[in-house]
Amino acid sequence: MISFQLIAFIFAFVAPLVSAEPPLFVCKDESCDTSKAVMDLPPSQTALVAPAIAPLFVLLGVGVQNYTCSGTTFASIGAVASFFDISCLAGTSKFDTIQNTTFKVWGRVPSSVPSTAIGALVGAPYLDGVFPLLRHPSSGTSISPKWDFTSTGKFAGNSTAFVIGVKVGDILASTNPAADIDWLRLARVEGDLASHVFRVDTVGGQPPTSCVSGSPPISVKYTSKYYLF
C-alpha cells in the first residue's frame, strides 16, 4: 500500500517532472540493439577494459550503499538496489544522463521510501526489486553482489538467470570521486546471466570521510549504470 508520505511526494515533485518528460525508463521483453551502448572509460587506466562486443543489456541501478563505522572511518557492508532495463535507450541523449536525472528524483525521496518504489514514482516497472549482497565463499571479508532475475520478465523460471560477481578491478569515479562511488569490474563466480559486470557512471554513494566510533550504520543513496557482458 502506498503511504500518504509517498503520495504527497509524487504530487509535490515527481508529477511535474513526469508530465514534462516522457517516461525515464524503458523495460521491454524483446531484445534491444545494444551496439551503441559503449562505456566511456578513462583512457589512462587498465583496471577497467571493455570487452570487444556489445553488452547483453544495460541496467540502471537505484539504491543505497550501506556502511558501518569502523574505528574512525566508514567501511562498506554491502548495498541494496532496484534495477531498470535501459538497454533500449542506448544511442539516445536520455541514456547518457539517465543516472543523473534519476538521482535528482531519488535524492529527494523520503528516507522511508525504499528504492523498489522508484519505478512507481516515474511510471515504469522495475526488474525484480532488489538484489541481495552475498559473502564470497572463499573469503569472510569479501562482499559479492548477486543480480538475480530468476523470477522476473523473460527470465522467470530460469534457475540459472543470475550472476554472483567478485571485484577484479576498480577506479575512482571520473566525475566527483569524493561523492561518487568507484567504478568497478566484476567477474562471474556463479550463475549464467553474464560473465562480466561493469559498474560505471556512478552518482552518489560515498560516505562521509570520518565517523565517531560506535556510530550507527548509515545508508547513502546512489545511482549507476551496470553493463552486463
Listed by start position, the domains of the chain span 4-31+57-228
Listed as ranges, residues in the chain with pLDDT below 70 are: 1-30, 115-143, 153
At 62 the pLDDT is 87
- Side-chain-facing half-sphere of 138: CA atoms under 13 Å: 5
At 108 the pLDDT is 85
At 132 the pLDDT is 37
Q: Do 49 and 227 form a contact (C-beta atoms < 8 A)?
A: no
Q: In what order do the strands lie in the sheet with 162-171?
A: 73-85, 57-70, 218-228, 196-204, 183-190, 162-171, 143-148, 133-135
Q: How far apart are the first and last CA of the chain?
A: 36
pTM comes to 0.82
What would the grid cell of residue 198 be? 561493469
At 201 the pLDDT is 97
Helices (H), 68-165: 93-106, 118-122
At 223 the pLDDT is 93
Neighbours of 177 (CB within 10 A): 14
At 118 the pLDDT is 67
Q: Do 223 and 99 form a contact (C-beta atoms < 8 A)?
A: yes
What would the grid cell of residue 90 be? 542506448
Total count of residues recorded for the chain: 229
At 119 the pLDDT is 62
What would the grid cell of residue 50 be? 571493455
Helices (H), 74-201: 93-106, 118-122
